[in-house]
Structures are given as structure tokens and as C-alpha cells.
Structure 1
């Protein structure tokens, strides 16, 4: 199936590893030129080099998504090297889990700034080129945690906020043939999850309780994102696609 993203330019944040790296690779396989955005410049370059070794067009850009100046510089670099951004995947994020009584202002701000403010800044920066081309795809990586998780008030709030941003941007920009959607993964088997001290318990609980009894794979999430970035999803906007094995509560 032709996804219609051949020769498009994609910017994936937090793409040096995990889900972001898999998304970038899958977009590259479909013919897009990809910019690997990450705050870790060396890791971003290593990932971009791996894609270039496979014959794909890939550029590493260091970006602190919580800084407007850093985001604008990264987008300008991408435009100069690859062309204006056609596809934006707001993937950068992390957890800093604590019960609310132990969560300080820094814990709250750090997660909100990267996940929610970062997505706002990246979206704002790439929109002019998309509007000029009358074509764009923005995919925000939310989480099933938007429904709430104990110990994740900061993360759940940020991921819930992304859904409001998604729907607002979809309504503002549909007239320019720009779609804005979100993907909400469940528990995905990534290096970060495997390094959790209670990983085996997480895995056992998933296998025992989910309608699809396994942990998700990065490929599962990447496939959903690439679909939403494609021409095949041209009449879908303002929506959220759950990739959670059937877990919603």
C-alpha cells in the first residue's frame, strides 16, 4: 500500500531511542526524509547514522523541546538541510513519578515542560511551512495514562493536556489540509520499561489481564503513528488512537 509520504520531511522528537527511534525508522522505510530530534546529540547522531547506513535520508538535530529558541533553531536546520517539515511527531517525554505529597514543583514543571509545552512549541514552529504547502501531519504521543495513574499526576496531566492541544490544533488547521491526531500507547516493551525494578511484575500483570495478553512493542505504536501521518488517514483529525492491548481504565 502506498502511504503517500514518499519524499516528505518528518521531524520526530525524542527519537534517539525507544518508540521515537522506531517511528523514525518506519517513516524512513516509507520514503520520508527524517530528522532525529533529541536533547542527546550523540545518541541522535548514532541513530541517524544507522539509518543512513541503510540508505535512508536522516539528519540528527539536537533540540531541547522546552526551549522555543532551541526548537526554532532545529526546525530551521531541518528546513535548510532537508526542506520544510511535513510530518511532526511530538514524542519527547519522560516520567518523574511520585505521589503528590512528595512531588515538588520541579518534578511537575520538568514533565509538563517537555511533554506539553514542548509539543506546543514544536507545533507552533512547523506550522508556517505546513500552511504554505497546504499539507501537514502532526501526531502527538499521549498515553493511556491520560486517564489517570497513581503517582503520575504530572505525567497524566501532561498527556491529558496533549489531547486538548490535539483537538484545538485540528480545528484551527484543517482548512490548510493539516491533520492533527494523537496516539495513546499502553505499556510498551522498551528499554526504559525493562529497566524498571518491577518490570517482571508489569509483564506478568499484562499477560494476565489484558484482552491482548502481552506487552506492546515499539513497532505497534510506530505503525499507528505512520498510518496517521499518511495519505490513508487524510480524513481523520482531532482523534486519539489507543495502542494499549485493550486497556482503557
Structure 2
């Protein structure tokens, strides 16, 4: 039975990813920082749960101890916006704290998780990190961290490849069923984001989960070091 770790798996995209792997009969562990929500999600899914903040080294080391006998797939999903930007006139230290929080939540958490579990990652496995369309227009801590995540992934793929482990980034566009925007999206903004897509529809968490599930399968063993976009054409690559 494959062992799967999905960080930030108590809701939204992470929950849908965990559900896809559970559908295969995998042994899935999800993490989160809200104990009540994590416990409830684990019960609904039939997944193991570990309360953990991916930016806390002690918590990540404790998480790694749950996989002493190995892990096949790591999905770095935890992250998100870490607060509204400070006013331009705010003290420089305030800006530094704002940027540091975003980079820690969206980049360092993934790096620490994979580093802590590196020794127990099994051959034939995968590391899949959730990026963002925002990385293409990085001008805030979240988007900049996601751009750095893709750069890190390229090097990670090279270092893990000889062990038959793949590493990829899945970069969603606007996806329904998440709380990334904290309920602050206006109807006008939502309509504009949908209009940017070629298919003229909003993405669903199942769209992201399906690609993650594929990348962790035997059918995708020659796909590694890549950033794959799930955005309905809102951003295209050449």
C-alpha cells in the first residue's frame, strides 16, 4: 500500500487531493494547523492526521517520525496568503515581517518537509508541490514564493531523479472551493478571472487533484522537473 502525505489537507485543494488518493486505497496522512478542522476532515476522508505547522522545524521533525518506514508521495499543498500587505509608509521592519511570513508559509514549508523526509522517500515515488498562476506575475510574497518553489523544484528533480523519484509543480489558476481569498472576492473580480480563461469557466478543486493524482502514477514516470498549469488557458506556455 502506498503511503501519501498531503500537507494542508483539511480543506480545499488539499482535501480533494487526499480524497483522490484514498480512492485508490492508499494510506493517506493529512496535516493542518487547526486541530478541530483537521480531525473532522480526517474522519470524513478516512485519513490519518498530524497537527503540524510546516514552518516549525520541531513540528516537521515530529511529522517525519510518522514515516520512519517510508513515504511514496509528498504533496506540498500547505500555504496561502499570510495577511494583507502593509501600507507603503509602514516601517521597513513591518514590510520585512510581511514578506518573511509569506516566504516561510509557501516556500520554506515545502523545503523543510521534503528535507525532513528525504531519507525515507521510496524509489518510484513523487514530490508534487502546489504552485500558482500568480508566480507568473510575482509582485507579492505569496506569488514570489510560488515562483521560487518552481525554481527549487527544478533542482529537486535533478537531485531525486537518480533514485527514480519525480518532482513537479502543479500551478492552479482561479479555483473554486478554496478560501485563498478569505471571502474577499467581489462578483466583478470573479467574473473577470473567469473571462481571462479560454474555456470561460472557473476551475474546480477536482481539476487540480486529477493532475496531482496522475503525476504520482506509473503513467507519469517520465515527467519531472516541470511546472504544469491548471488554469483553463488564463496563462499559456510555449
Q: TM-score, normalization: structure 2?
A: 0.91
1:106 lines up with 2:92 in the alignment: no
Superposed CA RMSD? 1.8
| 1:88 has 2:82 as partner | no
Among 40, 43, 50, the alignment partner of 1:49 is: 43
Unaligned runs of 5+ in 1: 1-6, 53-57
Residue by residue over 1:121-167, the C-alpha shift from the partner in whole angstroms, topping out at 9 and shown as x without a partner, is 0011121112xx32320001110100115xx5111110000011110
Task: Kindly state the Cα deviation for residue 100 of structure 1 after the two structures are TM-superposed.
Answer: 7.6
Aligned pair partner of 1:222 in 192, 209, 212: 209
Q: 1:100 to 1:220 in 2, by over 3 A?
A: farther
In structure 2, what is the Cα distance between the partners aligned to 1:220 and 1:19? Answer: 9
Q: Which among 116, 127, 130 is matched to residue 125 of structure 1? A: 116
* Offset of residue 51 of structure 1: 1.6
3-state SS in 2 of match to 1:34: strand
Cα distance, 1:50 vs structure 2: 0.6
Q: Give secondary structure in 2 for the equivalent of 1:137.
A: strand
Shift of 1:238: 0.2
SS at match of 2:179: helix
Give the aligned partner of residue 199 of structure 2: 212
2:152 aligned residue: 165
Q: Which of 23, 33, 50 does residue 17 from structure 2 map onto?
A: 23
Which whole-Å CA distance do the structure 1 matches of 2:87 and 2:172 have between them?
24
Matched, 1:201 2:188: yes
2:86 and 2:98 in contact (8 A); partners too? no
Decide whether aligned partners of structure 1 residues 176 and 41 sit closer, same or farther in structure 2, where only a CA change above 3 A counts. Answer: same
Does the 8 Å contact 1:16/1:44 carry over to 2? Answer: yes
| Residue in 2 that maps onto 1:4 | none
Q: What SS is found at the alignment partner of 1:184?
A: strand
Going from structure 1 to structure 2, the CA distance change for 1:26 and 1:186 (only over 3 Å counts) comes to same
Q: Distance in 2 between matches of 1:144 and 1:60?
A: 29
Q: Report the equivalent of 1:55.
A: none
Aligned mates of 1:100, 1:75 — CA distance in 2: 39
Q: Which moved more, 1:37-46 or 1:102-111?
A: 102-111
Q: 1:100·1:153 contact (CA, 8 Å) conserved in 2?
A: no
